[in-house]
Amino acid sequence: MQTTLHTKLHVAIIMDGNGRWAEERGLPRPDGHQVGADAVRAIVRAAVEHRVSALSLYAFSSYNWQRPPAEVAGLMGLLRHFLLVEVPWLRDFGVRITVLGRRDRLPIGLAKAIGHAEASTRDGRRLHLRIAIDYSARDAILAAAADHLTADELSGRLDTEDVDLMIRTGGDQRLSDFLLWESAYAEFYFTRVKWPDFGPDDFAAALADYHRRTRSFGGVVEAGAAAAPH
Ligand code: FPP
Protein backbone atom coordinates (compact mmCIF):
# COMPACT_ATOMS: atom_id res chain seq x y z
CA MET A 1 0.00 0.00 0.00
CA GLN A 2 1.49 3.35 -1.02
CA THR A 3 -0.21 6.32 0.56
CA THR A 4 2.11 9.21 -0.09
CA LEU A 5 1.04 12.16 -2.25
CA HIS A 6 3.07 14.96 -0.69
CA THR A 7 6.46 16.35 -1.55
CA LYS A 8 7.86 16.78 1.96
CA LEU A 9 7.01 14.75 5.00
CA HIS A 10 9.05 14.46 8.17
CA VAL A 11 8.21 11.41 10.27
CA ALA A 12 9.80 10.96 13.69
CA ILE A 13 9.62 7.71 15.64
CA ILE A 14 10.13 6.93 19.33
CA MET A 15 11.00 3.25 19.03
CA ASP A 16 9.79 1.96 22.37
CA GLY A 17 9.08 -1.52 23.68
CA ASN A 18 12.26 -3.45 22.84
CA GLY A 19 12.93 -4.46 26.44
CA ARG A 20 9.39 -5.62 27.15
CA TRP A 21 9.30 -7.48 23.83
CA ALA A 22 12.34 -9.49 24.95
CA GLU A 23 11.16 -9.99 28.54
CA GLU A 24 7.81 -11.36 27.32
CA ARG A 25 9.76 -14.05 25.49
CA GLY A 26 12.09 -14.85 28.39
CA LEU A 27 15.00 -13.28 26.49
CA PRO A 28 17.57 -10.77 27.72
CA ARG A 29 16.65 -7.14 26.96
CA PRO A 30 19.51 -6.66 24.45
CA ASP A 31 17.83 -9.28 22.24
CA GLY A 32 14.91 -6.89 21.93
CA HIS A 33 17.25 -4.16 20.72
CA GLN A 34 18.80 -6.59 18.25
CA VAL A 35 15.42 -7.44 16.72
CA GLY A 36 14.61 -3.72 16.93
CA ALA A 37 17.54 -3.01 14.62
CA ASP A 38 15.98 -5.38 12.05
CA ALA A 39 12.77 -3.37 12.34
CA VAL A 40 14.76 -0.19 11.66
CA ARG A 41 16.02 -1.66 8.37
CA ALA A 42 12.49 -2.54 7.25
CA ILE A 43 11.04 0.85 8.22
CA VAL A 44 13.79 2.80 6.46
CA ARG A 45 12.99 0.85 3.28
CA ALA A 46 9.28 1.50 3.77
CA ALA A 47 9.94 5.21 4.29
CA VAL A 48 11.81 5.35 0.97
CA GLU A 49 8.97 3.49 -0.75
CA HIS A 50 6.41 5.91 0.69
CA ARG A 51 8.55 8.84 -0.39
CA VAL A 52 8.88 10.19 3.10
CA SER A 53 11.47 12.97 2.87
CA ALA A 54 12.87 12.77 6.41
CA LEU A 55 12.80 10.05 9.06
CA SER A 56 14.12 10.79 12.55
CA LEU A 57 14.65 7.83 14.88
CA TYR A 58 15.20 8.10 18.64
CA ALA A 59 17.84 5.44 19.24
CA PHE A 60 19.45 6.51 22.53
CA SER A 61 18.37 9.35 24.79
CA SER A 62 20.73 11.19 27.10
CA TYR A 63 18.79 9.58 29.97
CA ASN A 64 19.54 6.07 28.65
CA TRP A 65 23.06 6.25 30.16
CA GLN A 66 21.33 5.29 33.41
CA ARG A 67 20.62 1.79 32.08
CA PRO A 68 22.77 -1.19 33.13
CA PRO A 69 26.27 -0.87 31.62
CA ALA A 70 25.91 -4.12 29.65
CA GLU A 71 22.70 -2.88 28.00
CA VAL A 72 24.33 0.47 27.17
CA ALA A 73 27.39 -1.27 25.72
CA GLY A 74 25.15 -3.56 23.68
CA LEU A 75 23.24 -0.60 22.24
CA MET A 76 26.43 1.28 21.38
CA GLY A 77 27.77 -1.81 19.63
CA LEU A 78 24.50 -2.31 17.76
CA LEU A 79 24.46 1.28 16.55
CA ARG A 80 28.07 1.08 15.42
CA HIS A 81 27.40 -2.20 13.62
CA PHE A 82 24.30 -0.75 11.94
CA LEU A 83 26.18 2.29 10.68
CA LEU A 84 29.07 0.22 9.36
CA VAL A 85 27.07 -2.57 7.74
CA GLU A 86 24.02 -0.75 6.39
CA VAL A 87 25.71 2.28 4.86
CA PRO A 88 26.40 0.77 1.39
CA TRP A 89 22.77 -0.07 0.61
CA LEU A 90 21.50 3.08 2.28
CA ARG A 91 23.82 5.12 0.07
CA ASP A 92 22.67 3.19 -3.01
CA PHE A 93 19.06 3.86 -2.01
CA GLY A 94 19.76 7.60 -1.91
CA VAL A 95 19.53 7.85 1.87
CA ARG A 96 21.46 10.61 3.62
CA ILE A 97 22.36 9.80 7.23
CA THR A 98 23.00 12.37 9.91
CA VAL A 99 23.19 11.86 13.65
CA LEU A 100 21.66 14.18 16.25
CA GLY A 101 22.95 14.49 19.78
CA ARG A 102 26.20 14.71 21.70
CA ARG A 103 29.24 12.91 20.34
CA ASP A 104 31.76 13.58 23.12
CA ARG A 105 30.47 10.78 25.39
CA LEU A 106 30.20 8.09 22.70
CA PRO A 107 32.70 5.24 22.34
CA ILE A 108 35.34 6.24 19.80
CA GLY A 109 34.40 3.39 17.45
CA LEU A 110 30.80 4.63 17.26
CA ALA A 111 31.87 8.26 16.80
CA LYS A 112 34.07 7.17 13.88
CA ALA A 113 31.29 5.10 12.34
CA ILE A 114 29.00 8.14 12.55
CA GLY A 115 31.57 10.33 10.76
CA HIS A 116 32.01 7.70 8.06
CA ALA A 117 28.25 7.19 7.56
CA GLU A 118 27.60 10.92 7.34
CA ALA A 119 30.45 11.51 4.90
CA SER A 120 29.64 8.62 2.60
CA THR A 121 25.90 9.32 2.38
CA ARG A 122 25.98 13.12 2.22
CA ASP A 123 24.74 13.20 -1.40
CA GLY A 124 21.62 11.14 -0.65
CA ARG A 125 18.50 13.00 -1.78
CA ARG A 126 15.62 10.52 -1.43
CA LEU A 127 15.39 10.27 2.34
CA HIS A 128 17.14 12.12 5.14
CA LEU A 129 17.57 9.56 7.92
CA ARG A 130 18.41 11.15 11.25
CA ILE A 131 19.40 8.93 14.13
CA ALA A 132 19.30 10.53 17.57
CA ILE A 133 22.04 9.18 19.83
CA ASP A 134 22.83 10.66 23.27
CA TYR A 135 20.10 13.12 22.41
CA SER A 136 18.04 15.45 24.61
CA ALA A 137 15.75 18.00 22.97
CA ARG A 138 16.06 20.31 25.97
CA ASP A 139 19.86 20.25 25.70
CA ALA A 140 19.65 20.84 21.95
CA ILE A 141 17.36 23.85 22.46
CA LEU A 142 19.56 25.26 25.23
CA ALA A 143 22.66 24.88 23.05
CA ALA A 144 20.97 26.57 20.08
CA ALA A 145 19.40 29.40 22.09
CA ALA A 146 22.59 31.06 23.27
CA ASP A 147 21.86 34.42 21.59
CA HIS A 148 18.83 36.56 20.87
CA LEU A 149 17.21 34.62 18.06
CA THR A 150 14.01 34.59 16.08
CA ALA A 151 12.02 31.36 16.05
CA ASP A 152 13.11 30.70 12.46
CA GLU A 153 16.76 31.24 13.36
CA LEU A 154 16.47 28.83 16.27
CA SER A 155 14.79 26.25 14.00
CA GLY A 156 17.73 26.60 11.62
CA ARG A 157 20.26 26.03 14.39
CA LEU A 158 18.58 22.81 15.50
CA ASP A 159 19.41 21.12 12.15
CA THR A 160 15.99 19.45 12.06
CA GLU A 161 12.88 20.58 10.25
CA ASP A 162 9.40 20.60 11.81
CA VAL A 163 7.98 17.15 12.45
CA ASP A 164 4.76 16.33 10.56
CA LEU A 165 4.05 12.96 12.12
CA MET A 166 5.40 11.70 15.45
CA ILE A 167 4.95 7.95 15.99
CA ARG A 168 5.53 6.25 19.35
CA THR A 169 5.42 2.49 19.65
CA GLY A 170 5.14 0.43 22.83
CA GLY A 171 1.95 1.86 24.33
CA ASP A 172 3.21 4.94 26.21
CA GLN A 173 2.01 8.39 25.18
CA ARG A 174 4.77 10.90 25.84
CA LEU A 175 7.59 12.69 24.00
CA SER A 176 10.47 11.74 26.31
CA ASP A 177 12.51 14.83 25.36
CA PHE A 178 12.53 14.03 21.62
CA LEU A 179 12.33 16.91 19.10
CA LEU A 180 10.30 19.14 21.45
CA TRP A 181 10.68 22.34 19.44
CA GLU A 182 10.20 20.66 16.08
CA SER A 183 7.01 18.89 17.20
CA ALA A 184 5.10 22.09 17.97
CA TYR A 185 2.49 21.24 15.30
CA ALA A 186 3.21 17.54 14.81
CA GLU A 187 0.41 15.03 14.52
CA PHE A 188 0.81 12.19 17.03
CA TYR A 189 0.27 8.51 16.42
CA PHE A 190 0.54 6.16 19.38
CA THR A 191 0.42 2.41 19.00
CA ARG A 192 0.65 -0.43 21.50
CA VAL A 193 2.72 -2.45 19.01
CA LYS A 194 6.21 -2.87 20.42
CA TRP A 195 9.04 -1.67 18.20
CA PRO A 196 10.45 -5.11 17.21
CA ASP A 197 6.96 -6.02 15.88
CA PHE A 198 6.40 -2.68 14.11
CA GLY A 199 6.57 -3.51 10.41
CA PRO A 200 5.94 -1.84 7.05
CA ASP A 201 2.16 -2.46 7.32
CA ASP A 202 2.07 -0.66 10.68
CA PHE A 203 4.08 2.20 9.18
CA ALA A 204 1.67 2.41 6.23
CA ALA A 205 -1.27 2.45 8.66
CA ALA A 206 0.28 5.36 10.57
CA LEU A 207 0.82 7.31 7.34
CA ALA A 208 -2.73 6.59 6.19
CA ASP A 209 -4.05 7.82 9.55
CA TYR A 210 -1.96 10.98 9.20
CA HIS A 211 -3.30 11.67 5.71
CA ARG A 212 -6.87 11.48 6.99
CA ARG A 213 -6.25 14.33 9.43
CA THR A 214 -6.85 18.02 8.83
CA ARG A 215 -4.01 20.26 9.95
CA SER A 216 -4.94 23.83 10.76
CA PHE A 217 -1.71 24.94 12.52
CA GLY A 218 -3.81 27.01 14.91
CA GLY A 219 -5.76 28.70 12.11
CA VAL A 220 -8.97 27.75 10.36
CA VAL A 221 -8.97 25.38 7.42
CA GLU A 222 -11.59 26.15 4.80
CA ALA A 223 -12.85 23.38 2.55
CA GLY A 224 -10.19 22.53 -0.02
CA ALA A 225 -7.59 24.81 1.57
CA ALA A 226 -4.29 23.41 2.77
CA ALA A 227 -2.98 25.10 5.89
CA ALA A 228 0.71 25.68 6.36
CA PRO A 229 2.59 26.56 9.53
CA HIS A 230 3.40 30.24 10.27
C1 FPP B 1 13.38 1.73 23.76
O2 FPP B 1 12.97 0.48 24.19
C3 FPP B 1 14.41 1.58 22.76
C4 FPP B 1 15.70 1.96 22.92
C5 FPP B 1 16.19 2.63 24.14
C6 FPP B 1 16.70 1.69 21.89
C7 FPP B 1 16.27 1.80 20.48
C8 FPP B 1 17.26 1.08 19.66
C9 FPP B 1 16.97 0.29 18.61
C10 FPP B 1 15.63 0.13 18.04
C11 FPP B 1 18.02 -0.53 17.96
C12 FPP B 1 19.00 0.10 17.10
C13 FPP B 1 18.64 1.35 16.43
C14 FPP B 1 19.14 1.70 15.22
C15 FPP B 1 18.84 3.05 14.68
C16 FPP B 1 19.95 0.81 14.41
P17 FPP B 1 13.08 0.10 25.72
O18 FPP B 1 14.30 -0.71 25.91
O19 FPP B 1 12.94 1.32 26.55
O20 FPP B 1 11.81 -0.83 25.88
P21 FPP B 1 10.91 -1.01 27.16
O22 FPP B 1 10.13 0.27 27.33
O23 FPP B 1 10.04 -2.16 26.79
O24 FPP B 1 11.82 -1.33 28.31
- Whether 18 is a known active-site residue: answer no
Q: What is the mean pLDDT of residues 109-123?
A: 97
- Return the residue whose CA atom lies nearest to atom 4 of ligand 1: 59
- What's the pLDDT score for residue 7? 72
**Burial readout 33-72 (b: 16 or more C-beta within 10 A, e: otherwise):** bbbbbebbeebbbbbbbbbbbbbbbbbbbbebeeeeeebb
CA distance 60 to 131: 9
Give the ligand 1 atom nearest the CA of 22: 23
pLDDT tens, residue by residue, 172-222: 999 999 999 999 999 999 999 999 999 999 999 999 999 999 887 777 775
The DSSP secondary structure of 65-100, one letter per residue, reads GGS-HHHHHHHHHHHHHHHHHHHHHHHHTTEEEEEE
**Which of 195, 197, 198 most suits a substitution to test ligand 1, by most atoms within 8 Å of the C-beta?**
195
> From the CA of 192, how far away is ligand 1's center (Å)?
15
> From the CA of 59, how far away is ligand 1's center (Å)?
6
Determine contact, residues 143/159, Cβ cutoff 8 Å. Answer: no
- Whether 152 is a known active-site residue: answer no
186: nearest Cα among 6, 12, 8, 4: 12
pLDDT tens, residue by residue, 71-84: 999 999 999 999 99
- Cβ–ligand 1 distance for 57 under 6 Å, the answer yes
The domains of the chain, with CATH numbers, are 10-211 (3.40.1180.10)
pLDDT band of 224, cuts 50, 70, 90 = very low
